[in-house]
Every structure is written in C-alpha cells, then in structure tokens.
Chain A
Amino acid sequence: MKCTNSMKLGLPACAGIAFAILQLGITSDALAATCPEVTVADPKGVPAGKYPQQYEQAEFEQLAKCNLLFKENPDIADLNKRIRGNPDLPKVEERLPEEPLVVAPYESIGEYGGTFDMMSNATEAGTSDFLAVRHVNLVRYSDDLQTIVPNVAKGWEWNDDYTQLTFLLRKGHKWSDGHPFTAEDVKYWYDNLSLNPNIFEKPKNYVLVAGKPMTVDVIDPQTVRFTMPAPKPGLLVHFANSYAQGFQPKHFLSQWDPEFNLDADKRAKEMGFENGYEVISNYYGNSDWTDTPTPMLRSPDKVANMPKDTMPTLESHILISESTEGRHLVANPYFFQVDTAGNQLPYVSEQDEIFVNEDEVRLLKMVNAEVDFKAQSLQLSTAPLLLENQEKGNYTIHLRPEVTMATLGINMTHEDLEKRKVFSDVRFRQAMSVAINRDEINETAFFGMGEGKQYTGFTDSPPFVENKWSQYYAQYDPKMANDLLDQMGLKDCDGDGFRDLLNCEKLVINLQFSVQGVAAALMELVGQHWGAVGIQSTVKEVTPDEYRSAQSANKLDVTVWRNGQPLAIVLGTNQIWVPPYHDYFTQRTNMLWAEYIDSNGASGVKPPVYAYQMIDDITAFQSTPVGTPKSDELGARLVQLLVENLLFIGTVQVPAPIYHRNVVQNFVEYKTHSFEYYRSYPYRPTQWWLDE
C-alpha cells in the first residue's frame, strides 16, 4: 500500500485504512482490488482503453481488475459554501455520475488544494487562455490533436451519410448545483437559446448546417440526436474544439423564459429587471462565449435579489466573484471526472484571475512568477527575457509553433468611395504584399525563427494546397510594387513624397492593431515598407475591445489579426471562407459584403463572383468526406480564389512562448501555441495540481 502519493490529508487516511484492514483481517487478495495509480508515464501494466489517456469507469475497472473507491477534496464542503445558492453537499459517490470519466494523469496522482493564478487583459479581452483551463464540452481533442475522445458525452454515433449525430451522456451527471444534467439541457441550448430570436438576433454560423437549422431530439435522458439538413462530418469536431458548449442548464435558465414559465416576467420584475429575457441575458450573456459578465458585474445592485451569482456549470471550476479587477473561482463539487485512484477532479481548489492590460507589467509579473500559466498574448518578442529568468522565477518556457499568422485584410468595402476604388484593385493588394520585406520582419521582430509566407487559409497545408500558393506575391520586390502602383495611376500629387488617391486627395492608411492580434514590431515594419513604395500610413496600438468594435463597425482601412485554421477546424466551421471571413473576436474584412448577403441585397456592397463561389465551395467541402477527389478539388479551388484575390496578405509565421510555473504538475508540452483547439483543453488542465 502506497501512501506517499496520496492526498494532503492522506497520511491519516492511509493509516486509518491500514488500521481497518488489520481490524477486519482482510487478506491481500482484497487489497488487490484497490486500483493501481495509472499514469500516462507509468501505466502500471494496465492496457490502454478505447481512447488514449482516459477510460470509462467500467472499462478501467475491468482492465485494471479493481474497484474504484471515490475520494474528494477535503475542503470541498467549505468551497461549496462559497457558491451562493448551492445546497449542502451529499457524499462524493452521489455527486459523481454513475459512470464518471476516469482520467490517467500525465505523471502523478495529484494533491488537492492551492489557488491557480492567472491574468487576462481585461473583462472579455484576452481571457480564453484562462477559460480553456476550466472548459468542458461534449467531446475533446486528445493531445495528439487528431483523436477525438469522450468528455461530457461518454460516446457518440454517426449514421452512414453523416446527417445524424447521436451523443450518449452519463447517467447521474449533475450540474454544479446538484441538479441532473440530461439530454434536455442539450435540446434547450439548441432550440431555446441558439435559435431563439430573443436571445440571438441571428443564429450563429456553427449551429447551422448549409445555412439551415438542425433538429435536436431527446431519445431518452441520456441520449440526444442532432439531425442535419445536409451531411456535416465536422459537427463532431465543432463540439471538440469550440468554446461554445452544446448544453446549458435548462432547469435554471428556463425559469425566466416566458415560454416555460408564465410567471417569468413577473419574477424578473420583482428582482428589478424589465422582463425574463433580461435575466437570462444577465446569466447567459446571450452568447456561448463563457466570459460574458455575470450579474455580479453587470447588475451589482440587483444580484443580491437573484437566486445565484452565476448560472450552474459543468466546468471544473465555478465563478464566485467578479469585478473589473478580476475574478475568483472554486472547484465544482459535482465535477464528473476522477483520476485512476478514484480522486474526484479537479485537484486545484481555487482559481484566481486578475486583469492586467499593460504588456510590460504582464511580463514583469511572469518573470516574478506571480501567475501559474500564460500562453495567450505572449509573443515571440518576449521570449528572450522570459527564457533568461526561467531558473530564477522557477518557471518553464516552451516555444511552440502558432497555427495562425498575422495577416492584413485591405478593406474593399471602405466607407470612403475613393479609398474603396483603390483598395478593390487587386494590383494594389499585390503591390502591398510584395512591398513587405518578410525576411527583414523575421530577422528584426522574430529573431529569424519565423517563415515568410502568403496566407492560404489552411495553416497545416493539407495535400490539396499547392506549394506555389504559400509564396504567391510573397517575395520582396519593391520595384514591382512601385510599377503596379504606377500602373494604377496612384501619383504623388502634392509632392510630399507619398502617393495620393486617384482624385489627388491624400491617402494615409490607418494601421490600427492590438498586440493580442499581432506584434507591434511587425506593424511598425509593415508601415515602413509601405512608406518606402510611397504609401503613407500611421501605426496605432489600441485595446482588443477597441480594435474589434472598429473592425466590425467597418471603420478600418486595413484589418490586422492572427488568422488561419487547420483542416480539422475548417470541417466544422466555414467562417474564414464566408464574408466577413471570421467572427467578431478575430479578423474580418469586407464587412459590407456580409451586410449585402445578410440583407438579401437591401444594403451593403455586392460581393464579387468569386466570393459567392467560395461560399458554395465551402458548403460543398464540408459535406464531402475528406481525402476524396471531389473534396480535394473543392479545397484547391477555395485556396486558389482566396490567394489569387489576396483577401488577406500573409506575413511571417512564428512560434510563441508558453509559460508555466514549475509548481504546476502534470503539465505536458503543448503541440501548438494556438486558439484553434481551444488552447489548453486538449492537454487536460483538470488533472493539473500545484506542488507548493
């Protein structure tokens, strides 16, 4: 019997068990029934299950020939008291599902306790890094970024033509307030939130298939089926890598929905709100983004009258306080995962997040080891300082490739018609692309560790992407740029050394950016390179919030952010191929094309033929099994149309640092530095523990 690796309060517990064994005279055969502490590093002879690094309970007990005994965080009752509105806790066996997910930790069975410290930029800015640490969804990408494995759902099934996806849920799975989680919660999320015009004015792209809604059917409390109007093999991928969780607490939110509760509006008014939907909006934020302000921040004057500070969750931790300074969370006492020793996860008792919007101060705090983990907003330029202080700060830096790169989208639907005329000319975009000296940017801003490229959409270069596209107009050729601009007739009318618009009005390109999207040094150099071919620009850094609202309000000359998705992601979402070519949080361009399509031509600017072709192609591409000649043909045409028209101009693809303090145990080196698989989610932060 091994006591060293057990819980914080493990020693007396171990002694107690040993004592009980002596008392009852249990033989060594019964001891064999205790499960081996299987880890990824040392499987203790237990074979792998159906999926890597995790088991279903019955599967594990059969393979390891043992019975799991469940244990809990010794502080869990106190943590639960801090969740306002949560009743007292039943025993751990009753809180866990009847079939919990058994997780094999990477290195060691953890110790409970501690506070995991994080920092984000501001409320709703730069927070996905932290959100992903507590995130759960129906399924998950394993750390090989290829295998999809069970998570909230214990299994799934496709029909033959990929039009029906059925998820099996866990019997006895509970929300963080102890209420059962069932297939109804999935249907509620889809029917009553996602497709409800009172919540979302327009359904999000990811809840539609070929532009049409799906049907969600509850087969039984643990079985839910998505039926699609067209094949979409990527739907499963979506539930693996998206921040959008395919379920919401029906028992909690529906009490303010007039469709479910006739008293909804009346109760809302009693709490000081206009109607029930306003209460739902306070809890749900009318967004699947799990970071929208809770009533604690949105309605501090009313929250005391509301039954809970935040809505119940299935995630590993739940919010207990929130302000403009930061947030604090405690472990979810009903979390559905256990380790191979039967300890309920998460190991980490509390999480704390502070908002720091200054890069330099963030850096100082990391060097000073004041946070436990950070990847988002960390760019290669900070690597030397961070690497230099690794030992002193007792932390580790991994440099991992990004799957995105900074791209520039020249706004072809600019409000200023003279600018629009110039920006819509493909020669202008070609000239701007070859005017950029990517090698110099790589050497100056990225220590020569990056690679200059054109943007092709698919960042993992699947086989159907011809090599020529990644270098298309990506060479440094200022003479060609000047020739192209001369051909266009962009002359220097006023003799100030810079080219002017065709009507001789001044042309100054406003390069607004946020360092969350791109490195400042890169933007400075792009501004200089464009200046060298006579295109004047001003470079200005703004907050992510400001950048995003300006971008979506069509106020930018050039949009700049990190861009690109691997094939696996494109199968699930068409966003980067359809105007405005991505969502609010990332890079968009040509906003008025999107408005034209959405308003059926009533307003906006009519997109060119190739934009329509791309919309048709991506829809067909998503419905076609990957690797078939038809799929390759569609993929190749998508890339060709995107690159030939230079909807986005590529720059330099670089690696970026991932920071973690050495006290964070069971931390595995990430494959990529990226948002695309939802940051830390594939690397299982629920089994991290703090060795302090």
Chain B
Amino acid sequence: MFHFLQFAATRAALAVITLIMVSFIVFSLMELVPGDCAERYLAFKNTTGAQISVADIEAERVRLGLDKPYVVRWGTWIVNAFQGDFGDSCILRLNISQLLGEKFWISLVICLTSLLVAYLIAIPVGIISATSKSPVVNNSLRLVSYLGLAMPNFLLALMIMLFSTMVFGDSLTGLFSKEFRDAAWSYERFIDFISRAWLPIFILGWSATAFAIQTVRALMSDEVGKLYVLAAAARGVTGRRLLWRYPARHSLGPIINSLGFDLNRIFNELPIVALILTLTEAGALLIESLARSNDQQLAGAIIFLLTASIVGINFVTDIILALTDPRVRRSILG
C-alpha cells in the first residue's frame, strides 16, 4: 500500500510538472505567431471608425499587459489557466472559457467514445486474429484494418456525406439539429446529439480501431508463442481461459499505457473531420484559430486543455497499471 501511495503521489507531481512545462511550450508557440493580440483587437476597433496609430497599439499592449516580460506573462497565463480562465479571444472578442465551454467537453466525449469503441472492437478482434489459423479470417481482418489505416479520415467523411446526400438527401453536418442548437441540455437534446455524433465517432473510431487491432494483434502474436503460455497449456488450461489469463493480460499493459497517446492521435484527426462535417466543437475551433484566423489566445487555450487531458489520462492509466501490475508500482518512476 505504501508503495502504491508513493507511486501515485510521484506520478501526480510529475503530471503537474509536465503540464507546466507543456504550458511554457504552448505559450512560447503563441508568442511566435506574428502580430499580437493588441494589433488584432485594434484592427476590430477600426470598424467603429477609429484609425489605428502605432501609439494606439502600444497603449493597447499596455492595457492587455503585453508589455510585461515574457516570463511574467507566462506566469500570469498559467496561473489563470489552472483556474480555467484563458482571457479573451483576439478575433472573436469573447471570453474563451465561455466560448469553449461545452465545446471542449463535446470534443473530449467524441474522442473518448471513439477510443472506447476502438478498443471494445480491437481487443477481441486483435486476439482472435493473432491466434486464428484461418486465412479467411486473418486476411479479411487485415484488409479492413489496412483500409482504416490507409484511408484519410476526411475522405471517408466526404464519401459518407456525399452518399448520404445522394441517397437520403441529408448532408449529415452539424452537431445538433436546428431545434436543439441553442437549447439547454436535456434528454431530447442528448438523443439529438447522439443521432449526429455517431458519424464523427464512427469515422474517427474506424482508423483508431484499425490501428488498435494492429497493436493488439502484434502484442498478442509476440506473447502467444512464449514458453509460459505453452507451460499453461501443458497444465491443461485451454481455449479462451488460456488466452485471457495468460498472453492477453500481458499484452494489455502496453495498451493501457498508450491510451493517452491514442487520445492525442484521435484529437489530431478530429479538426479535419470536424471542419468537413461543420461540427462546431473545439477541434474545428482549433484549426480555425491556428490556420485561418491566427487567434493565438484561443489556439493556446485549446492546446493547453488538450495536453491537460492527455496528461490526466496518462496519470489515470498509470494508476490502473499500478493496480494491476505489482512490478509497476514498485518502480515508482514507472
């Protein structure tokens, strides 16, 4: 028990340190974008007839605190960020926490559900594929997973949209139907959300599944041939019981470890899919703010939240691993 607590405390501390380091990198990246928030904000004020002079921009810099040293600004930003306050978006001029609000959770739910679906399918299928001797099963599984790996997500999204447009007359875009777009959360709104969110979950889930099947299959193939499996089989353990209790248990460790990484990969794919499907969640906002509007405040906030989620998930998976594997909790630093 002592080992476990020590392990958990160390991992928690490491997670916070990682987050702080990441925040520094994110903040530095935000700074590298040419033109700062003062300029962008004043460009908007131009609409009300104001002419921007260099002096105005300087004054606005002071107002936004952009004249302070780099480290001080990073410090303020990180302290506020940990309290959930990311300031105002440069271009939209709205409070980022309000703007992102549920959008980030929606993105996270979409990604986590895709991940869950992927592993629910990949673990049994991967195990079967690693142990099956049937060439038909093996080859067809391989085909499906290669398709998932090779076909770009946006193409899949476009194909499904085109198909749906031609056959059902619905382009399947958006996260909510008109009636529920601005409504408060309710059971009906949730059902409406599910009736649309399945598509991005399916698209993201397919490539994630393909990837996961390959991983599970490779790990299982490695383990299945090992001596301890053979020994167990020699003692008379057979069939599913043999697979689950011996090689599968060993193969799953690395998979749990890589969940955070998988989430990151899915989130990376989300913006493109979201743009095509006109989902207005955090992924689409991220690509808008990065690639098009150069809204560094907003992009920084989203990236920070994303890394925080990944660090959080890594922490949770470490704990799970420590609970399942005594060797892990003894190692402290993992």
Give A504-556 interface residues, CB cut-off 8 Å to B.
Answer: 542-543, 545-546, 548-550, 552-553, 555
Say which residue of A204, A361, A548, A555 sits within 8 Å of B278 (CB atoms). A361
Say which residue of B40, B50, B98, B162 sits within 8 Å of A553 (CB atoms). B40
Residues of B within 8 A of A287 (CB): 47-48
Distance in angstroms between the alpha carbons of A521 and B297 in the assembled complex: 32
CB of A204, distance to nearest CB on chain B (Å): 5
Residues of B within 8 A of A368 (CB): 165, 169-171
Distance in angstroms between the alpha carbons of A594 and B175 in the assembled complex: 44
Q: C-beta contact mask, B137-176 vs A, less than 8 Å → 1, else 0?
A: 0000000000000000000000001100100011101111
Are A364 and B161 neighbours in the complex by a CB distance under 8 Å? yes
Is A325 close to B, CB under 8 A? yes
CB of A305, distance to nearest CB on chain B (Å): 15
Is A300 close to B, CB under 8 A? yes
The count of chain A contact residues (Cβ–Cβ below 8 Å) is: 58
Distance in angstroms between the alpha carbons of A467 and B35 in the assembled complex: 43
CB of A78, distance to nearest CB on chain B (Å): 15
Residues of A within 8 A of B66 (CB): none
Give B269-303 interface residues, CB cut-off 8 Å to A.
Answer: 275-276, 278, 280, 288, 292-294
Asked whether A300 and B98 contact (CB < 8 A) given A552-B46, A595-B51, the answer is: yes
Is B45 close to A, CB under 8 A? yes
Residues of A within 8 A of B288 (CB): 357, 543
Distance in angstroms between the alpha carbons of A361 and B174 in the assembled complex: 11
Give A301-335 interface residues, CB cut-off 8 Å to B.
Answer: 301, 321-326, 328
| A-B interface pairs (CB < 8 A), number | 127
**Which of B52-60, B209-217, B320-328 is found at the contact surface with chain A?**
B52-60
Is A598 close to B, CB under 8 A? yes
CB of B104, distance to nearest CB on chain A (Å): 13
Residues of B within 8 A of A545 (CB): 91, 292-293
Are A358 and B275 neighbours in the complex by a CB distance under 8 Å? yes
Is B42 close to A, CB under 8 A? yes
- Size category of the B interface is 35 or more
Say which residue of B34, B50, B92, B171 sits within 8 Å of A364 (CB atoms). B171
Q: C-beta contact mask, A292-306 vs B, less than 8 Å → 1, else 0?
A: 010001101100000
Is A367 close to B, CB under 8 A? yes
Are B292 and A546 neighbours in the complex by a CB distance under 8 Å? yes
CB of A663, distance to nearest CB on chain B (Å): 14
Are B98 and A301 neighbours in the complex by a CB distance under 8 Å? yes
Are B99 and A324 neighbours in the complex by a CB distance under 8 Å? yes
**Which of A24-32, A163-171, A348-356, A397-405 is found at the contact surface with chain B?**
A348-356
From A286, A355, A370, A552, residue with most partner B Cβ within 10 Å: A552
Is A259 close to B, CB under 8 A? no
Distance in angstroms between the alpha carbons of A555 and B40 in the assembled complex: 11
Are A365 and B171 neighbours in the complex by a CB distance under 8 Å? yes
Distance in angstroms between the alpha carbons of A555 and B35 in the assembled complex: 9
Closest to B50 in A: A201
CB of B231, distance to nearest CB on chain A (Å): 58
Is A62 close to B, CB under 8 A? no
Residues of A within 8 A of B34 (CB): 555
CB of B168, distance to nearest CB on chain A (Å): 10
Say which residue of B48, B173, B182, B294 sits within 8 Å of A201 (CB atoms). B48
Say which residue of A205, A365, A604 sits within 8 Å of B173 (CB atoms). A365
Asked whether A321 and B182 contact (CB < 8 A) given A549-B39, A553-B40, the answer is: yes
Distance in angstroms between the alpha carbons of A401 and B176 in the assembled complex: 37
Is A612 close to B, CB under 8 A? no
Is B49 close to A, CB under 8 A? yes
Are A549 and B44 neighbours in the complex by a CB distance under 8 Å? yes
Distance in angstroms between the alpha carbons of A583 and B50 in the assembled complex: 11
Is B181 close to A, CB under 8 A? yes
Give B18-38 interface residues, CB cut-off 8 Å to A.
Answer: 34-35
Give A214-232 interface residues, CB cut-off 8 Å to B.
Answer: none
CB of B248, distance to nearest CB on chain A (Å): 43
CB of A121, distance to nearest CB on chain B (Å): 11
Distance in angstroms between the alpha carbons of A298 and B32 in the assembled complex: 28
Is B240 close to A, CB under 8 A? no
Residues of B within 8 A of A297 (CB): 94
Are B43 and A548 neighbours in the complex by a CB distance under 8 Å? yes
Distance in angstroms between the alpha carbons of A356 and B80 in the assembled complex: 32
Are A553 and B53 neighbours in the complex by a CB distance under 8 Å? no
Is A203 close to B, CB under 8 A? yes
Is A158 close to B, CB under 8 A? no
Say which residue of A199, A204, A326, A603 sits within 8 Å of B53 (CB atoms). A603
Are A546 and B280 neighbours in the complex by a CB distance under 8 Å? no
Are B94 and A370 neighbours in the complex by a CB distance under 8 Å? no
Q: C-beta contact mask, A195-209 vs B, less than 8 Å → 1, else 0?
A: 000011111110000
Say which residue of B53, B98, B176 sits within 8 Å of A604 (CB atoms). B53
Distance in angstroms between the alpha carbons of A365 and B173 in the assembled complex: 9
Distance in angstroms between the alpha carbons of A326 and B317 in the assembled complex: 39
Asked whether A323 and B54 contact (CB < 8 A) given A361-B278, A368-B165, the answer is: no
Distance in angstroms between the alpha carbons of A632 and B250 in the assembled complex: 89
Closest to A356 in B: B278
Residues of A within 8 A of B169 (CB): 368-369
CB of A69, distance to nearest CB on chain B (Å): 35
Residues of A within 8 A of B53 (CB): 595, 598-599, 602-604
CB of B299, distance to nearest CB on chain A (Å): 13
CB of A574, distance to nearest CB on chain B (Å): 14
Say which residue of B94, B162, B294 sits within 8 Å of A298 (CB atoms). B94
Say which residue of B54, B91, B275, B280 sits within 8 Å of A603 (CB atoms). B54
Asked whether A354 and B51 contact (CB < 8 A) given A364-B161, A553-B35, the answer is: no
Is B178 close to A, CB under 8 A? yes
CB of B48, distance to nearest CB on chain A (Å): 5
Closest to B103 in A: A324
Residues of A within 8 A of B93 (CB): 298
Are A552 and B49 neighbours in the complex by a CB distance under 8 Å? no
Asked whether A584 and B171 contact (CB < 8 A) given A325-B181, A357-B288, A543-B293, the answer is: no
Residues of B within 8 A of A364 (CB): 161-162, 165, 171
Are A361 and B276 neighbours in the complex by a CB distance under 8 Å? yes
Is A241 close to B, CB under 8 A? no
Asked whether A549 and B40 contact (CB < 8 A) given A287-B48, A361-B173, A555-B35, the answer is: yes
Are A553 and B42 neighbours in the complex by a CB distance under 8 Å? yes
Distance in angstroms between the alpha carbons of A562 and B135 in the assembled complex: 62
Is A123 close to B, CB under 8 A? yes
Say which residue of A204, A328, A361 sits within 8 Å of B49 (CB atoms). A204
A-B contact pairs, 28 of them (CB 8 A): A115-B178, A200-B50, A201-B48, A201-B50, A202-B51, A287-B47, A287-B48, A298-B93, A321-B182, A324-B92, A328-B178, A328-B182, A355-B280, A361-B276, A361-B278, A364-B161, A365-B171, A365-B173, A368-B170, A369-B169, A542-B292, A546-B91, A552-B46, A553-B40, A553-B42, A555-B35, A555-B39, A595-B53
Where the two chains meet, the residues of B that have a C-beta atom closer than 8 Å to any C-beta of A are 34-35, 39-40, 42-55, 91-94, 98-99, 161-162, 165, 169-171, 173-176, 178, 181-182, 275-276, 278, 280, 288, 292-294
Instruction: List 20 extra interface pairs beyond A599-B53, A603-B53, CB under 8 A.
Output: A200-B49, A297-B94, A321-B182, A325-B174, A325-B175, A325-B182, A352-B178, A354-B174, A357-B275, A358-B275, A368-B169, A545-B292, A549-B40, A552-B52, A553-B35, A553-B42, A584-B46, A591-B52, A595-B52, A598-B53
- Considering the complex of A and B, which 10 residue pairs feature the smallest CB-CB distances, nearest first? A549-B43, A543-B292, A201-B50, A321-B182, A598-B51, A202-B49, A552-B43, A546-B293, A552-B46, A584-B47
